[in-house]
Amino acid sequence: MTIATPVPELQHRTVLLDEAVDALDLTGARASGLYIDGTFGRGGHSRLILSRLAPDGRLVAFDKDLQAIATAQQIADPRFSIVHDSFATMGTALAAQGVTQVDGILLDLGISSPQVDDATRGFSFRNDGPLDMRMDTTRGLSAAEWIATATEQQLEKVIRDYGEERFAFQIAKAVVARRAIEPISGTRQLAAIVADAVKTREKGKDPATRTFQAIRIFINKELEDLEAGLTAAYAMLAPGARMSVISFHSLEDRMVKQFLASKAKVPQPDRRLPIRAVDLPQPQMKLIAKIKPSGEEVSANPRARSAVLRVAERLEDAAR
């Protein structure tokens, strides 16, 4: 595996730092457990978890971003290890180490500020850069490569479904028309095409926001990873263990909400049937909290505005 050379860190504020770690309840005997940080990012959550772990506790972090891996490798703590892969692989990655259960899992689904602010990554249209958008630049197609080959229908579907963009048809049509003239390889170039195609937009929001979100989600298979990651995380939680999940847009939060709700509720049988209470299906998780950033946090870090933290606990008698 090629590891990126550490670079001077662009400013990053970890969203819902204390709330997400507090929710894992690293107290008493639980401080000696094994925990997963599903997205290391720049290590805010991981470092706080490590500060609360007992000497025999353990933390395994995951990240697809090479710069995140480089930052993680600077942590000289024998209780900590980092895996260069998506958190969706946590089950197989830890099974290879003989681990089948963990005492808590934290998933931070947001893109980090250094990724957004680094123009060379192509995540943002605010500074011109190559249209890449890959979390892991060693794998898969870049956004520019996909845009060059996708059909108009594919472009429209991705922009509509992942960006919830009502002008997806117009944007896709404009992209196909422009690429017939010249390659679309820069972030400002794509943003300008979108701006010309979108005639109205919410006050204070750039016309390209939803399109860039949609393409980034698609390129990185973020929703597929989230679906697989939630399933893997649930399967690995020990009885009484908790899952903290921070989402940043409605598609993510809807998936997290529905997944946790499906584990916390059970189908109600027909009351006319002679079923004993002991034979009724039991909930597998308990919903603990839904938390949003405080006004103070949003004022200090506007990117926290859309964040939602959901916390659930695996029930002691939940059947596997």
63 is in an annotated binding site: yes
Is 37 annotated as ligand-binding?
Answer: no
**Is 43 marked as binding a ligand?**
yes
Q: Alpha-carbon dihedral of residues 57, 14, 37, 318, nearest 10 degrees?
A: 90
Please calculate the CA angle 320-246-209 and round it to the nearest 5 degrees: 130
| Sign, Cα dihedral of 186, 223, 303, 84 | negative
User: Does residue 44 have a known ligand-binding role?
Assistant: yes
Phi-psi region of 240 (alpha: psi -120 to 50; beta: other; left: phi over 0): left
- Concatenated DSSP letters for 235-265? HHEEEEEEEEEEE-SHHHHHHHHHHHHHHH-
| Residues β-bridged to residue 309 | 246, 291
User: Rounded distance, CA 210 to CA 208, Å?
Assistant: 6
Burial of 245: CB neighbours in 10 Å, binned 0-12, 13-18, 19+ = buried
The per-residue b/e assignment along 293-317, b for 16 or more CB within 10 angstroms, e otherwise, is: beeebbeebebbebbbbbbbbbbee
* Calculated CA dihedral for residues 93, 98, 101, 102, nearest 10 degrees: -70
The C-alpha angle with vertex 165 and arms to 159 and 167, in degrees rounded to 5, equals: 95
212 assigned binding-site residue: no
Q: Which residues contact 95 (CB under 8 A, 6 or more apart)?
A: none
310 and 289 Cβ atoms separated by less than 8 Å: yes
- Indicate the annotated binding residues: 43-45, 63, 87, 108, 115
- Indicate the annotated binding residues for S-adenosyl-L-methionine: 43-45, 63, 87, 108, 115
